């Protein structure tokens, strides 16, 4: 799919990857970039910059997502590309409070579910549409120090796979974004070497990878290409991969 002349929605658009996506889609000639975020002031600033429109949306609430979709479809036209990008990270393991687990589950997983719940029927009826779901390399590998992040990002990848399999014959294309460390608020304060074994990249590089993948209709978007080799190692010898991850954990956590 070419973004030019398309209506595009980006959640989490006030900063980081979402802001970079909004800017890049506008530069690609999108007909309208719909910017969504909980940060009302921030998302309005981005929307004004790219000539789009803003919604103050809490993606942990299905009603907010539905309201945005219904409003755009009724007042602006059919949504061609929906980027379910908003996400959060928390630390800890199984001991993390239930409230924290539920919040990260709602934002990192259920927001994708709710977007698909309301977009897939519309796109299927039109015979085309595109869903871009932001996950993480943690969803393909794991995340040192955060079970909630690793688990929810694995779920996000699994949902994207299922959507691509189930709805591909209806003209709906799906991509899942799985970067390692990106220079955003989530990684602020982390030295490059600690944040990612392969270094930190800028949100603009992620947006570039997304545009190219959407054009090619590639499912898996890996701004850090090294992740593909890690996936191969994991699949080839799970025990060795687990041992390697334990070594990495000792390196960074002592």
Is residue 130 annotated as a catalytic residue, yes or no? no
DSSP result, the chain: ---TT-EEEEESTTSHHHHHHHHHHHHTT-SEEEEEES-HHHHHHHHHHHT-EEEE--TTSHHHHHHHHHHHHHHT----EEEE-------BSTTS-HHHHHHHHIIIIIHHHHHHHHHHHHHHHHT-EEEEEE--GGGTS--TTBHHHHHHHHHHHHHHHHHHHHHGGGTEEEEEE--S-BSSGGGTT--HHHH-TT--B-HHHHHHHHHHHHHHT-SEE-SSTHHHHHHHHHHH-HHHHHHHHHHHHHHHH-
Among 130, 149, 238, 252, which one carries the catalytic annotation?
149
What amino acid positions are annotated as catalytic residues?
Answer: 149
């Amino acid at each position: 799919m070419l973004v030019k002349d398309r209506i595009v929605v980006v959640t989490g658009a006030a900063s980081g990857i979402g802001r970079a996506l909004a800017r890049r889609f506008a530069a690609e000639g999108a007909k309208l970039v719909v910017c969504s975020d909980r940060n009302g002031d921030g998302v309005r600033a981005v929307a004004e910059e790219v000539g789009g429109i803003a919604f103050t949306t809490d993606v942990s609430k299905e009603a907010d997502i539905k309201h945005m979709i219904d409003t755009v479809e009724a007042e602006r036209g059919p949504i061609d590309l929906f980027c379910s990008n908003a996400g959060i990270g928390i630390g800890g393991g199984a001991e993390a409070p239930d409230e924290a687990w539920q919040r990260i589950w709602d934002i990192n997983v259920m927001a994708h579910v709710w977007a698909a719940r309301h977009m897939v029927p519309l796109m299927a009826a039109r015979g085309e549409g595109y869903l871009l779901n932001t996950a993480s390399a943690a969803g393909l590998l794991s995340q040192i120090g955060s079970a909630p992040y690793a688990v929810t990002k694995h779920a996000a990848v699994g949902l994207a796979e299922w959507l691509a399999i189930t709805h591909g014959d209806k003209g709906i294309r799906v991509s899942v974004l799985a970067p390692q460390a990106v220079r955003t608020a989530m990684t602020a304060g982390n030295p490059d070497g600690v944040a990612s074994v392969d270094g930190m990249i800028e949100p603009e590089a992620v947006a570039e990878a997304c545009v190219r993948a959407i054009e090619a209709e590639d499912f898996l978007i890996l701004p850090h290409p090294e992740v593909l080799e890690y996936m191969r190692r994991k699949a080839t010898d799970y025990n060795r991969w687990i041992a390697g991850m334990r070594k990495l954990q000792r390196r960074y956590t002592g």
